[in-house]
Structure 1
């Protein structure tokens, strides 16, 4: 397990290398490190701005090789979003390093958690908002598959579909309360009565009866969220949600 002093030392080395790399013309901290809100479990989030002449793939490969040699990488994961590569490193110490390789014209703040280290960022843009329509659509889709999985006796699939349905409910609830809906980051800040309802709707074991009870409770919670966000859509969904939430026979 890494400690905070190791994390700070690695972050300083990453920053120094970025300043010395002719292919990097800007860098910023994002996430908890940018806000001074790190704890012992926080990772390193560093955004890099590529020079307009830089070859992104070669820069990424060079940085990947250097990080592995310096800090011992266990594995990497690439996430592509908006034409930007987010390379996630898992070190053997379990420390996570997120390096974002922004092209010269895309380097900018996309939220409040942005602390410029050097360079000239482009004008900031708003963070990507939760697609409410998609969250509602995915919610009823998970409910539908939970119903069919349970009817077929596929208890593990049912549990997975119910977990996915609950995630959509949490995202919609966070949106309703003005909280960050992404990856459950603000889920713990939801009102206690709502958290208790979500907890109560979890199946206590993987049995047909418990999963059926969980499905019924979650579909009702989902219906209430849809009603708040889009009453017209809630009316359209009323009958199928009633069927999906009904006790299985």
Structure 2
């Protein structure tokens, strides 16, 4: 990979990991437009490390509070709101984790096509728009329930289908269930931590078993750029989502899906 490829792909990964616009669709475009080769396993590990670092750094105080309260009251009969939220993140992660272990290979072989990605980019974009229009913002993270967390966790399983967008489908479910926009986004970002950690860990194991040479300078640049772009994405998304809503992302998804259908299918 040359420097331009590293910069473009790392920025795309950092942004699309957390924006509700589908990372799969964006990682297809550069290869189709410029004839770039697949970035490879080592680079996948690097950008996962970068996005994980970004979300942990941004939510470091929240994570510290959740872990502390989970250790103190999480195992009692009356856990406080932070301990409950920690449990919700853990339990909501399980469905997607199990589905990933069981179905990832099948999905990679059967659903990772441009047509599927274009259709899901458009379809789930429309669903995201619908959820934002009919939302009834009555819940925050402090008073959400276990059932709501589990439904969001089940929705996260759908993100295994390329083009869906993990952040997009979890925010869609959260909005339909009554969470405020900012709380829907925060819960989605917190949910990403164990999944990115698990995915990055599995890819790291694969990398360690590989005999292919590794360009450590390229990987370091990928980590740095994906971390910066992901942090900037989280910061500005949370700062403006209550005002701009989901419409800009819905329109963007429709345009992106249309471009894929017209020119690459």
TM above 0.5:
no
TM bucket normalised to smaller: under 0.3
User: Which has more radius of gyration?
Assistant: 1
Q: What's the TM-score, normalizing by structure 2?
A: 0.22
Higher helix share: 2
Q: Which of 1 and 2 has higher RCO (CA within 8 Å, sep 6+)?
A: 2
Q: What's the TM-score, normalizing by structure 1?
A: 0.23
